[in-house]
Amino acid sequence: MLQRVNPGNKSFSDYRSIIRRDLYDEVHELAERVKGARILHINATSFGGGVAEILYTLVPLMRDVGLECEWEIMFGAEPFFNVTKSFHNALQGADYELTIEDQAIYEEYNRRTAQALAEEGEEWDIMFVHDPQPALLKEFSGGLSDSTKWIWRCHIDTSTPNQKVYDYLEPYVKDYDAQIYTMREYTPPGDGLPNLALIPPAIDPLSPKNMALSREDASYIVNQFGVDTERPFLLQVSRFDPWKDPLGVIDVYRAAKEDVPELQLVLIGSMAHDDPEGWDYWYKTVNYAAGDQDIFLFSNLTNVGAIEVNAFQSLADVVIQKSIREGFGLVVTEGLWKGRPMVASRVGGIPMQVTSGGGILVDDIGEASDACRKLLADAEFAREVGRIGKEHVREHYLTPRLLRDDLALFAKLLGV
């Protein structure tokens, strides 16, 4: 048996006061068209990443509006996750030598997962497969119904992939009935994907990570971790890996601290079980911090969970996203939703979110430190930047919009 995730319950009506009326009505209209459809989401982990966070909201909302929706985790073990982490990096352009042994490991775990799905004996109208880890499920899915429609959702930027890895995956991906990417610029070079759909991800404004916290409650939480809320602090929330450049964030902090000596830096990263290199980069970051008492490193394994992240984001004087490569960057959306001024790299999906006036886009450490200085020196400017960013997220990047887009794709694939 595969691991079935229980994402709890949510009510779509709870979002009515947050989103536009026309979007609310559109979701109900689409839901009526696909009512009763059986949807199964498959991914590699139930915690520690943006995909899992999305599904914890999306699956119960799909159920609430009338779909029969489940979420299962594929088979995996350390050898498999080592290979798929390399795939993940390679699809974003990293050097990696694809070996026959790695292919065999990857295919074996996809084959086992497909066999387990067949043995469960359930029929699904739509199989919704997320990211590279389970991308071969359709290939090995002989035990499932021929009428099932297959969606592959790619959450990363594959515009400049390691060509050997993409050449290996391409025929399997192209065989899906739909391939979802965040934006066209993320799609790989070549003759194009035959059934491309462009759907950006979104955040849940009612989740513990994004719900409104009073300043008093947020301060109480942050103070418990030794961060002085009476002094300014910069914040980055991201996995500890080279693409998120935590070492570069420390450089930005050190440059800004020359003008703002009381400045602090907080780095928070979720350590996922399918990210074996994460701990190596955590220790690199610790060493780079060189014992600075004003640099704080936290993770889900130091009791920093959703509420704590919310508190830090709600109080940060500047939220930073110093990515070198980025899929979409849901942590950017989260920071903007808290009304905090954002300084972020001009990469991936970040410019879709940090629009004119709603944050500051930067290309290097010098620009980032200058932007931080400007925001720290001008509180009124920082507040206005935060306000504009929050309203942009409300319009484009909350879960009800994502739900609408997925329902529209389901209706198209099912012909209803």
Domains 3-202+398-414 and 215-396 share a fold: yes
User: Under a CB-based contact definition with an 8 Å cutoff, are residues 45 and 272 in contact?
Assistant: yes
CATH number given to 3-202+398-414: 3.40.50.2000
Residues 410 and 412: their CA atoms lie apart, in Å, by 5
Q: What is the pTM of this model?
A: 0.86
Q: Which residues of 199-225 are buried (b: 16+ CB within 10 A; e: fewer)?
A: bbbbbbbbbebbeebeeeebbebbeeb
Residues 6 or more apart from 103 whose CB is under 8 A from it? 168
Residues 182 and 176: their CA atoms lie apart, in Å, by 17
Mean pLDDT for the chain overall? 94
pLDDT at 301 over 90: no
pLDDT at 143 over 70: no
Find the mean pLDDT for residues 101-127: 95
Find the mean pLDDT for residues 383-403: 96
The predicted structure's pLDDT at residue 48: 65
Find the mean pLDDT for residues 40-65: 91
Residues 141 and 78: their CA atoms lie apart, in Å, by 24
Find the mean pLDDT for residues 299-326: 93
Q: Where are the domains of the chain?
A: 3-202+398-414, 215-396
215-396 maps to CATH 1.10.10.10: no
Residues 6 or more apart from 242 whose CB is under 8 A from it? 281, 324
Residues 186 and 146: their CA atoms lie apart, in Å, by 30
pLDDT tens for residues 224-272? Answer: 999 999 999 999 999 898 889 999 999 999 999 999 999 999 999 987 6
Find the mean pLDDT for residues 141-152: 87
pLDDT at 276 over 70: no
Percent of the chain with pLDDT strictly greater than 70: 98
pLDDT tens for residues 157-199? Answer: 899 999 999 999 999 999 999 999 999 989 998 878 999 999 9
Q: How many CB atoms lie within 10 A of CB 283?
A: 10
Task: State residue 349 phi and psi, 5-degree precision.
Answer: -90, 5
Task: State residue 136 phi and psi, 5-degree precision.
Answer: -95, 5
Q: Dihedral of CA 9/14/18/19: which sign?
A: positive
